[in-house]
Structure formats: C-alpha cells, structure tokens
Structure 1
C-alpha cells in the first residue's frame, strides 16, 4: 500500500494536542514535587516519602512520553520528505515507525496515569486513617 504525503501530515494536529497534554502533566507534576518537598521538609511524613518514590517514577514516564512523541514526530516528518522525493517504500516504513513511537508514547501516558491514580489513593488512605 502506498501512502500519500498528506497521510503523515494528518498526524500533526493530533500531535500538537498530545504535547499540550504532556506539557500540562509535566507542569502539574513539577508543582506537586515542590509541594511534597516543602511538606517533607516540615513533617518528615512517611506518606510524603511514599509519594517521593511515586513522583520519581512518574517523571520518568513523562520524559519517556515526550521523547517517544518527539521521535514519532521526527519520523513522521522524515516520512513526508521521503514520500516527497519519491522514495515511497522508505516513506511507508518510516511512517510505520512514527506510528509505533506515537503508540509507545501513548502507552507510557497510560502507565503514568495509573501511577498517578495510585499516588492519589495513597493520599486518600492517609486522609481516611486520620479521620477515624
């Protein structure tokens, strides 16, 4: 199957929305880390310690999401260039790689979301323990 130059171009609007979401996640986690830093310095709370480990892992996933997304965009752009220059086979292959990188980026996003949920449950459990 041959794709046209417009096929990879269709991913660009989706990618910009994706990176906006990834950037917002990064900014939110950075803010949360600063809050946890202040809390831990004041209280030495064991709950804050649990959150530190979770936050460190979430940062890794967010970096992976962004790197994989960028590689996907680069491959997508390269695919457009290869198709433009008549190298259809290589363009198709490169476009396939771009889709793989974007899917991996989305899978990393799901993993980070699951970690985020787990971190929220740690906070909720702590609040429940202190309310009884």
Structure 2
C-alpha cells in the first residue's frame, strides 16, 4: 500500500469530531455530577449513592477515550512526519498504530455508553416503582 500525506490527513476530521463528542460527554457528565452533588447535600438519598460508582467509572472511561483519541491524533501526525521524511515503513507502523488507538477509543466509548444506559435504567426503575405505588 502506498501511503502519502493525504491518507493520515483523512483521519484529522474524524479524530477531531470524536474528541469534540467525548468532550461534550464529559461536560454533560460533569453537569450531572454537580446536580447530584447539590441534590444529595440538600436531601441525602440512597438512589444517588447507587449512581456514584457508575459516575466514577464513566468519568474514568471518558478520560481513557480522550487519551486514546489524542494518542491516535499524535501518531497520525507522526506518520505524516515520517512520510515527509521518506521513512515509508515507519510511517506505515505509526499510521497503523493510530488506527488501532482510534478503534480502542471507540471500544471504550461503547463501554461508557453501556454504563450510562445502566445509570438511566436506575432512574427509570425508580419512576416505575413510584408509579406502581
């Protein structure tokens, strides 16, 4: 496969959009945590405590997603530099590693999505329990 400067350059918009989406998820999660904190300070509720471990795990997963995404972008730039310097074989390895990191980032994103769905199910179960009474 011939690798030129435009091939790794194609990843830039994708990685940038992923990082933007991850940042938005983080900001949404931060707002949720702040709201839960205020709610818990006003009236301690065991249901809020159920969400804490999920929220901690989600924050950690989002950090990992962002780290993997940034590392992917870094290796993409390294691949472009190696192409520019004429180090074709090393450029292939860097670009391949960049793709692998992007795949890992997306995989972690799926785990975080699953965890966030679980947290929403806790709230839905509470609503259903209240409605049944």
Q: Shift of the alpha carbon at 1:28?
A: 0.1
Corresponding residue for residue 47 of structure 1: 47
Q: Shift of the alpha carbon at 1:129?
A: 1.0
Per-residue CA distance 1:29-82 (angstroms, 9 max, x = gap): 000000111122222211100111110000000000000000000000000000
Gaps of 5+ in 1: none
**What is the CA RMSD across the aligned residues, in angstroms?**
0.8
Retained in 2: the 8 A contact 1:82–1:91? yes
Per-residue CA distance 1:54-111 (angstroms, 9 max, x = gap): 1000000000000000000000000000011100000000000000111111111111
Corresponding residue for residue 27 of structure 2: 27
Per-residue CA distance 1:4-51 (angstroms, 9 max, x = gap): 111000000111111111111000000000011112222221110011
- Structure 1: distance between partners of 2:62 and 2:99: 19
- Structure 2: distance between partners of 1:128 and 1:38: 24
Retained in 2: the 8 A contact 1:65–1:109? yes
Corresponding residue for residue 37 of structure 1: 37
TM-score normalised per structure 2: 0.96
- Structure 2: distance between partners of 1:46 and 1:70: 37
Pairing 1:104–2:121 present: no
Residues 1-132 of structure 1: matches in 2 within 5 Å?
1-132=1-132
Aligned residues: 132
- Structure 2: distance between partners of 1:75 and 1:16: 14
Q: After the TM superposition, which parts of structure 1 deviate over 4 Å for at least 4 consecutive aligned residues?
A: none
- Structure 2: distance between partners of 1:111 and 1:42: 32
